Structure 1
Amino acid sequence: MKLKVVIHTAEEGGYWAEVPAIPGCATQGETFEDLLQNLYQAVDACMSVDVDAAALSEHDHIMEIAV
Protein backbone atom coordinates (compact mmCIF):
# COMPACT_ATOMS: atom_id res chain seq x y z
CA MET A 1 0.00 0.00 0.00
CA LYS A 2 1.26 3.47 -0.84
CA LEU A 3 0.16 6.54 1.11
CA LYS A 4 0.90 10.17 0.43
CA VAL A 5 2.44 11.99 3.38
CA VAL A 6 2.70 15.76 3.86
CA ILE A 7 5.98 16.66 5.55
CA HIS A 8 6.36 20.02 7.30
CA THR A 9 9.41 21.71 8.78
CA ALA A 10 8.61 22.46 12.43
CA GLU A 11 9.18 26.04 13.60
CA GLU A 12 11.00 24.82 16.70
CA GLY A 13 13.23 22.49 14.65
CA GLY A 14 12.78 19.01 13.27
CA TYR A 15 9.84 17.86 11.20
CA TRP A 16 6.23 16.84 11.51
CA ALA A 17 4.08 14.94 9.05
CA GLU A 18 0.46 14.05 8.44
CA VAL A 19 -1.24 11.35 6.39
CA PRO A 20 -4.26 12.94 4.66
CA ALA A 21 -5.80 9.54 3.81
CA ILE A 22 -5.97 8.68 7.52
CA PRO A 23 -7.60 11.54 9.44
CA GLY A 24 -5.80 12.29 12.68
CA CYS A 25 -2.67 10.35 11.70
CA ALA A 26 0.33 12.61 12.34
CA THR A 27 3.76 12.37 13.94
CA GLN A 28 7.02 14.27 14.36
CA GLY A 29 10.76 13.70 14.54
CA GLU A 30 13.90 15.63 15.41
CA THR A 31 15.60 14.43 12.21
CA PHE A 32 14.20 13.28 8.87
CA GLU A 33 15.25 9.72 9.71
CA ASP A 34 13.41 9.90 13.05
CA LEU A 35 10.36 11.23 11.24
CA LEU A 36 10.33 8.33 8.77
CA GLN A 37 10.61 5.76 11.55
CA ASN A 38 7.83 7.47 13.50
CA LEU A 39 5.65 7.65 10.37
CA TYR A 40 5.71 3.87 9.95
CA GLN A 41 4.75 3.44 13.60
CA ALA A 42 1.99 6.07 13.40
CA VAL A 43 0.43 4.56 10.26
CA ASP A 44 0.58 1.09 11.79
CA ALA A 45 -1.11 2.35 14.97
CA CYS A 46 -3.78 4.32 13.08
CA MET A 47 -4.59 1.38 10.82
CA SER A 48 -4.81 -1.10 13.70
CA VAL A 49 -7.70 0.69 15.42
CA ASP A 50 -10.86 -1.41 15.42
CA VAL A 51 -13.84 0.48 14.14
CA ASP A 52 -17.29 -0.99 14.63
CA ALA A 53 -19.41 -1.13 11.52
CA ALA A 54 -22.39 1.19 11.49
CA ALA A 55 -25.67 -0.47 12.38
CA LEU A 56 -27.94 -0.25 9.32
CA SER A 57 -31.57 -1.19 8.91
CA GLU A 58 -33.41 -1.92 5.68
CA HIS A 59 -34.70 1.68 5.75
CA ASP A 60 -31.22 3.27 5.85
CA HIS A 61 -29.34 4.54 2.81
CA ILE A 62 -25.62 4.89 2.19
CA MET A 63 -24.47 7.88 0.18
CA GLU A 64 -21.06 9.25 -0.72
CA ILE A 65 -20.57 13.00 -1.09
CA ALA A 66 -17.67 15.22 -2.07
CA VAL A 67 -17.00 18.29 0.04
Structure 2
Amino acid sequence: ENKNLEWKEKVTPQYLKTVSVFSNYEGGTILFGINDQGKVVPLSDPYKTCLDIENQINDNIYPQPDYSL
Protein backbone atom coordinates (compact mmCIF):
# COMPACT_ATOMS: atom_id res chain seq x y z
CA GLU A 1 0.00 0.00 0.00
CA ASN A 2 1.05 3.57 -0.63
CA LYS A 3 -0.45 7.00 -1.25
CA ASN A 4 -2.07 5.79 -4.49
CA LEU A 5 -2.94 2.21 -3.55
CA GLU A 6 -5.22 0.91 -0.81
CA TRP A 7 -6.14 -2.70 0.01
CA LYS A 8 -9.54 -3.50 1.50
CA GLU A 9 -10.37 -6.99 2.70
CA LYS A 10 -14.10 -6.34 2.38
CA VAL A 11 -16.47 -3.59 1.39
CA THR A 12 -17.34 -1.37 4.35
CA PRO A 13 -18.55 2.24 4.32
CA GLN A 14 -15.06 3.45 5.32
CA TYR A 15 -13.76 2.90 1.77
CA LEU A 16 -15.85 5.91 0.68
CA LYS A 17 -13.41 8.16 2.55
CA THR A 18 -10.58 6.69 0.50
CA VAL A 19 -12.51 7.27 -2.73
CA SER A 20 -13.02 10.89 -1.71
CA VAL A 21 -9.35 11.38 -0.85
CA PHE A 22 -8.18 9.81 -4.10
CA SER A 23 -10.63 11.93 -6.12
CA ASN A 24 -9.32 15.14 -4.51
CA TYR A 25 -5.64 14.40 -5.10
CA GLU A 26 -3.70 12.45 -7.69
CA GLY A 27 -6.14 9.54 -7.96
CA GLY A 28 -5.51 6.03 -6.83
CA THR A 29 -6.59 2.42 -6.80
CA ILE A 30 -8.54 0.49 -4.20
CA LEU A 31 -8.23 -3.27 -4.43
CA PHE A 32 -11.00 -5.15 -2.64
CA GLY A 33 -10.45 -8.73 -1.52
CA ILE A 34 -6.88 -8.20 -0.30
CA ASN A 35 -6.03 -8.07 3.40
CA ASP A 36 -3.40 -5.87 5.08
CA GLN A 37 -0.77 -8.56 4.59
CA GLY A 38 -1.37 -8.55 0.81
CA LYS A 39 -3.10 -11.93 0.73
CA VAL A 40 -6.16 -12.52 -1.44
CA VAL A 41 -9.43 -12.95 0.43
CA PRO A 42 -12.07 -13.96 -2.14
CA LEU A 43 -15.24 -11.88 -2.39
CA SER A 44 -18.38 -14.02 -2.17
CA ASP A 45 -20.13 -12.35 -5.13
CA PRO A 46 -17.84 -10.03 -7.12
CA TYR A 47 -20.58 -8.93 -9.54
CA LYS A 48 -22.92 -7.87 -6.71
CA THR A 49 -20.00 -6.25 -4.91
CA CYS A 50 -19.25 -4.10 -7.97
CA LEU A 51 -22.87 -3.01 -8.20
CA ASP A 52 -22.92 -2.17 -4.48
CA ILE A 53 -19.73 -0.13 -4.77
CA GLU A 54 -21.03 1.76 -7.80
CA ASN A 55 -24.33 2.57 -6.06
CA GLN A 56 -22.63 3.66 -2.84
CA ILE A 57 -20.24 6.00 -4.65
CA ASN A 58 -23.03 7.47 -6.78
CA ASP A 59 -25.33 7.94 -3.78
CA ASN A 60 -22.82 9.30 -1.27
CA ILE A 61 -20.10 11.32 -2.96
CA TYR A 62 -20.75 14.68 -4.61
CA PRO A 63 -19.48 15.82 -6.94
CA GLN A 64 -19.27 12.35 -8.36
CA PRO A 65 -15.66 11.29 -8.94
CA ASP A 66 -14.40 9.89 -12.22
CA TYR A 67 -13.87 6.19 -11.46
CA SER A 68 -13.93 2.77 -13.01
CA LEU A 69 -14.58 -0.69 -11.60
Instruction: Give the TM-score category using the shorter length.
Output: 0.3 to 0.5
Higher share of residues assigned strand = 1
Higher share of residues assigned helix = 2
Relative contact order, higher structure (CA 8 A, sep 6+)? 2
Larger radius of gyration: 1
TM-score, normalised on structure 1? 0.35
TM-score, normalised on structure 2? 0.34
